[in-house]
Amino acid sequence: MEQWSPFIWISIFAITAMVVNTIGIVAVYRNKELADKSKEYIICFAAGVLIASPLIMILPEAMSRNPHAGIMALTGFLFMYFVNKGVKYSTDQKALAFGITALVGIGIHSFIDGVVYTVTFSVSTLLGVVAGTGLVIHEFAEGIITFTVLTKGGVKGKKAILFAFLTAALTTPIGAFIAYPVIHGVNAVILGDALGFVGGVLIYLSASHLLPEANEHDKKHSYIAFLMGVGLAIVTLFTGGA
């Protein structure tokens, strides 16, 4: 597998993310109670991976390529912060407007997820696998959330499935494949900046998006799932090599 090109890894993870997201959409459509029971644990596990991997792998790697990559990490964090602020300003509108506005935010998130696959796998397989694993895992919960947002906005049945797929699932491989020709072949300094930006995005996604969503429902022992996610990132760091 080490001989696989970054594009193959990017394709595998981006398409897998799309499939997992779609499974989440279908799961909540067919069995809402079961999907809701598992959602918070999945979110917490993914959050653990996505908070640990930037801090112990992605940001150090970015700064080894560009000492100023920390500025780009802050930029990535602020970018996601203001994207979410923009979405939340419209949530006091009517139900359908809420649904549409929330979908815009989810669509941007999913597109950025695809960009993350491209950037991390362009640096190394290890970084891509760790960051990608956390993103793929959270896709199941994101599919559930997207479908739920649509139904709250008045979109029902198979139409909600289609819109959720187009917004949350399909946008991830689109983001990955659009970013690939831009990222592929850039020099180490620019790649360090891109990796720093990605690190900031992942930290925001975990600390300000996934964990608050899980804490809102506060499932028993969900912190164990979070620590398991952190543990996976640490174990991968020490067993995956540089």
Helices (H), the chain: 6-30, 32-53, 59-65, 69-88, 95-123, 125-152, 157-164, 171-183, 188-204, 211-215, 222-240
The answer to whether the CB of 48 falls within 8 A of the CB of 233 is yes
Q: How many angstroms separate the CA atoms of 148 and 158, rounded?
A: 13
pLDDT at 1 over 60: no
How much is the pLDDT for 92? Answer: 52
How much is the pLDDT for 35? Answer: 73
Q: Which two tokens stand for residue 37?
A: 């029971």
How much is the pLDDT for 241? Answer: 47
DSSP string of 149-161, one letter each residue: HHHHTT--HHHHH
pLDDT-derived band at 212 (thresholds 50, 70, 90) equals confident
pLDDT-derived band at 166 (thresholds 50, 70, 90) equals very high
